[in-house]
Amino acid sequence: MNKTQCFKAAGAVAIVAMLTAAGPALGAGQSPMLDALVQSGEIPPLEERLPANPLVLDAESIGQYGGTWRMGMNGGGDNGLIAKTVAYEGLVRFDREWQTVIPNLAESWEANAEATEYTFKLREGVKWSDGAPFTSADIAFTVEMYQDPEYAASSWIDNINNPATVEVIDDLTFKFKFNRPNGMLMDEMASVNGIHITSLQKAYCSQFHPSYNENAAADAEAAGFSSWALHLQDRCAWGWETIRFANPDLPTLYAWVLDQPLTANASRVTWKRNPYYWKVDSEGNQLPYIDRLDMRVSQGGVEELTLAALNGEIDFQERHIATNVNKPLFFDGQEQGGYHLGAVIPSASNTLVFQLNFSHDDPVKRELFQNRDFRIGISHAIDREEIVDLVFTGQGEPYQVAPRPQSPFYDEELAKQYTEFNPELAIEHLEAAGLTEMNGDGVRLMSDGQPVRITVDVISALRPEWIDILEIMQLQLAAVGVEIELNNIDRTLFYEKRPSNDYDAQVWAGDGGLEVVQEPRYYFPFSDESVWAYRWAQWFNGTRPEIAEEPADWAQEQMELYRQIRSSSDPDERADLMRQILAITKEQFPVIGVSLMPDSYSIIRNNLRNAPETMFNAWLFPTPAPMDPVTWYFE
């Protein structure tokens, strides 16, 4: 079933209208909540608040104003929830099928043939939540801040390999220029990373920077900060940084503005509608329909949140609570709780990616881990059906680290190769890799006479099922003479071990099942998350030249292809190049997968309208925000 069919089958997802030529009547309606404010003169009337050309969202039905969308945050550091519900307002965005890039704050754009210059035109009359106009000057200021080394933010704007420079043409028109071709810029800007460029208002944030305010350092000190940089980061934090949502004074372009901010002691984070929001429905009514958001903040556990959801105190949520184990509970509670379950398709391809360190310090292990036969042998020794049955109650199927069936890059052979459980075949391949001898304990011996013992780093706190899977794999691999040892560690240590090259193997989930071109970490040595070839990835990215290693020829070939993708402005050509990369991945089989990440689910209150019955769940495509929660309403 491909992506389109899947959505048709669900049959409930509306089609997003882009800019309609026949514009609706402007200023047709606003929330009753704002009427009093207009009458008292606190805010101007609707037609003066809306842009000349507001973004029109066509939803399944025209809604009514009012209500509070209740959801839950997990612990203090759950800024991701806000990024995925409120903060996804970049210059452009993805359509609901995650296929094409469509306008958002920018009305139109064009790129030159070399993909080094992009010209954007902003919507005229869009206003920040404080009523000040949003212009090219804000974009230029944001670029300046991101590129200031004292301002701690990293993104595509200040990417050391290809930083953006901005040229302001007029109030509404500006150009991004790059030294090297940047063919994937639009995909990057439509993803969650597009939030960066629209996150700072010049008028407000410039007061904290010494270039604009000579007293910035003194002001910072008066506010209790040791430097202006810390003060700036506190008041005007980047993109979706936690501390950003602790400042209710920061002007934004979101549909809702902060009411009770996210502080260390907040038990709720609440939002109320932004009177200056710049999107309308097809009849010209100002969005959002829902007046308020209420995010209850848990103290780090999800038990209360789970019960609240069962009790009908959550209106729409997938994050945190939709675990495999809870599914029967939520299924049975539908009637009592007044909600139903929606389908959620994860973007991750695999439940567990087994990554052997190709650049191991021990030359014997390095040679062994780079040996394709060794990896094939391990793969055939895993009884994936047993793992799916025991750990995932039968949900999912044996799968390699490969694009998901919903992806246009789906390749059955890549997804299924070597997944057959066959110990004889496994032993054949292990012997072909030179592991012919065994010691008294039945463990195979490497070329230096040492037994094959692989320590696998894992963070069970992140996904408890990893331990379950690995313990089963441990028994299965022991049966063919390969010993793995589980090393359950903290996340910080997990990351520290990478640059110091102090690991045999690490496991993680299979990101990149849908976002194949943007997140190819397992298909070739792409980023720091390509743990299997961390040092090769450094060679590719140039971030830590002191530890970079020259990759194998096939990986260099892939890197070259990816460079071509980056410099191509033609989506079809990029897809074709990506398929060539995947063909090499299939041939080389760098990492071992276990099973397809099973579908998840969302809790949808029965009186919530226009909410998606089917959606993807990803980070780059920060659902549910691309499903336009501003058009949801309560009946």
Q: Which residues bind other proteins (CB under 8 A)?
A: 75-77, 80, 149-150, 152-155, 158, 160, 224-227, 229-230, 233-234, 242-243, 246, 260, 263-265, 267-268, 294, 298-301, 303-304, 307-308, 310-311, 313, 336, 462, 490-496, 511, 519, 527-529, 543-544, 619-620
Q: Which is nearer to other proteins, 30 or 233 (CB)?
A: 233
- The tokens describing 133, both together, are 């106009």
Q: Which is nearer to other proteins, 40 or 492 (CB)?
A: 492
CA atoms of 71 and 314, how far apart (whole Å): 5
Nearest approach, Cβ of 616 to other proteins (angstroms)?
15
Q: Which is nearer to other proteins, 42 or 304 (CB)?
A: 304
Amino acid symbol at 9: A
Q: Which is nearer to other proteins, 452 or 537 (CB)?
A: 537
Burial 481-519 (b: 16+ CB within 10 A, else e): bbbbebbebeeeebeebbeeeebbbbbbbbbbbbbbbbb
Under 8 Å between Cβ of 459 and 494: yes
Nearest to 270 by CA among 293, 254, 253, 252: 293
Residue showing tokens 């959002």: 288
Nearest approach, Cβ of 444 to other proteins (angstroms)?
32
Nearest approach, Cβ of 242 to other proteins (angstroms)?
7
Nearest approach, Cβ of 461 to other proteins (angstroms)?
9
Count of C-beta atoms within a 10 Å radius of residue 155 = 18
Q: Which is nearer to other proteins, 213 or 527 (CB)?
A: 527
- The tokens describing 542, both together, are 């140039």
Q: Which is nearer to other proteins, 24 or 76 (CB)?
A: 76
Q: Which is nearer to other proteins, 201 or 270 (CB)?
A: 270
Nearest approach, Cβ of 551 to other proteins (angstroms)?
18
Phi, psi torsion values for 295, nearest 5 degrees: -105, 110
Nearest approach, Cβ of 130 to other proteins (angstroms)?
22
Nearest approach, Cβ of 519 to other proteins (angstroms)?
7
CA atoms of 295 and 483, how far apart (whole Å): 46
Nearest approach, Cβ of 41 to other proteins (angstroms)?
28
Q: Which is nearer to other proteins, 10 or 230 (CB)?
A: 230
Q: Which is nearer to other proteins, 257 or 620 (CB)?
A: 620
Q: Which is nearer to other proteins, 211 or 226 (CB)?
A: 226
Nearby residues of 219 by Cβ (< 8 Å), 6 or more positions away: 207, 208, 213, 228, 231
Nearest approach, Cβ of 548 to other proteins (angstroms)?
13
Distances (CA, A) of 268 to 7, 30, 296: 34, 26, 4
Nearest to 446 by CA among 532, 501, 382, 367: 367
Nearest approach, Cβ of 224 to other proteins (angstroms)?
6
Nearest to 103 by CA among 140, 157, 57: 57
Nearest approach, Cβ of 299 to other proteins (angstroms)?
4
Q: Which is nearer to other proteins, 394 or 542 (CB)?
A: 542
Distances (CA, A) of 402 to 348, 418, 512, 518, 596: 9, 13, 8, 14, 9
Nearest to 123 by CA among 103, 142, 138: 103
Residue showing tokens 């995650």: 98
CA atoms of 48 and 131, how far apart (whole Å): 10
